Structure 1
């Protein structure tokens, strides 16, 4: 479908799919009791979005989402609980250090701030990374941190994309129940997809350089 009619159709289809995915995410998160539901739900969401971005002609949103949720339930919860625990520890540290004075606490504040940046970048890229690569459990965390260091510009774009999208959604709170998670995830997956491509290209160039240097 070409022309204005085709564009309107694709736009309405995009909006409907975003809302549908958001409702699926909310439903499956509640199904898992929130604590054990949000991580596999997020993996399932990114799985669908990745196939969508790759223009998978055989994509069935509900079937793909359901299969990914069931298949990755335990593994996704493991990573999700680790990230939640680290985030809680960092939050407690920040609340403690913020009211302390002295050179020691200033150093600790700076170090904690640096760790928070790494944590934020890791958290944002972790689920796109999870659906992009098949890796051993702890390698997801290692690779997420590695990509953050190797591709700092793309990491900053990823963080900026998240905050800009979040700001837009917060200015329109009425749309959050329909697009809050799905739209943020779509933006993150689209940016992460380019980040992974750039990272793989850099790794291949480095390997090629090493091979010809030996």
Structure 2
């Protein structure tokens, strides 16, 4: 449909909003399909892949949905390896935090400071790892270090991502009705957009782009 003027702009906006809602519903469905625990990682990884494709100009919803499903199946095992490791690390961080909070004195303060620093690094890794996974083809263990190096190498991008996530959090608290339909899809779109320029620069110099879209 070739519409011009405000009608064309309105049509593209409605189409874009529909895409976000459909991908969000697919994320929910695919997460449930994997019994939540084993579904959330491949569903999230697949969403990053299709959002990257959308930013690169692929705007056909049917193709995006088809590629989402294909990525979910193809990366189910690999993405779950990442998810399980992240889950284990998060569990031990929470467990250690409960223990450290019972300590007093200088040793307790030192351990708490150390744990907070580790938690910050974990949060940074959690924010970036599926972006790296969707974009680069590398050995499995390198995704963890690469996600940390991404933020260390580009601190302003990391700070901007955190600030943007906070703004989105406040938005969803003010308008909670948006969360079920756009919460995850908008968040992933924002993170993908923030990292896209950095990846382009790195890809141009390294030539290691991971193409998962057919």
Paired position in structure 2 for 1:147: 150
Q: Give the secondary structure class of the aligned counterpart of 1:34.
A: coil
Correspondent of 1:157 among 155, 160, 165: 160
Distance (whole Å) between structure 2 residues aligned to residue 57 and residue 188 of structure 1: 18
Does structure 2 retain, via aligned residues, the 8 Å contact 1:151–1:199?
no
Over the aligned positions, Cα root-mean-square deviation in angstroms equals: 1.8
Q: Give the secondary structure class of the aligned counterpart of 2:159.
A: helix
**Unaligned ranges ≥5, structure 2:** 207-214
1:163-214 alpha-carbon deviations (Å, 9 max, x no partner): 221221122222211111111111111112123345567x77xxxxxxxxxx
Aligned length: 203
Paired position in structure 2 for 1:40: 42
Q: Which has the higher contact order (CA 8 A, sep 6+)?
A: 2
How far 1:35 sits from its partner (Å)?
0.4
Paired position in structure 2 for 1:12: 14
TM-score w.r.t. the length of structure 2 is 0.88
Does structure 1 retain, via aligned residues, the 8 Å contact 2:58–2:64?
no
Distance (whole Å) between structure 2 residues aligned to residue 195 and residue 163 of structure 1: 21
Q: Would you say 1:69 and 2:75 are equivalent positions?
A: no
Paired position in structure 1 for 2:209: none
Q: Would you say 1:119 and 2:122 are equivalent positions?
A: yes
How do 1:57-206 residues align onto structure 2 when only pairs under 5 Å count?
60-197=63-200
Does structure 1 retain, via aligned residues, the 8 Å contact 2:48–2:130?
yes
Paired position in structure 2 for 1:53: 55
Distance (whole Å) between structure 2 residues aligned to residue 145 and residue 40 of structure 1: 20
Q: Give the secondary structure class of the aligned counterpart of 2:90.
A: helix
Distance (whole Å) between structure 2 residues aligned to residue 160 and residue 95 of structure 1: 28
Paired position in structure 2 for 1:22: 24
Distance (whole Å) between structure 2 residues aligned to residue 71 and residue 136 of structure 1: 16
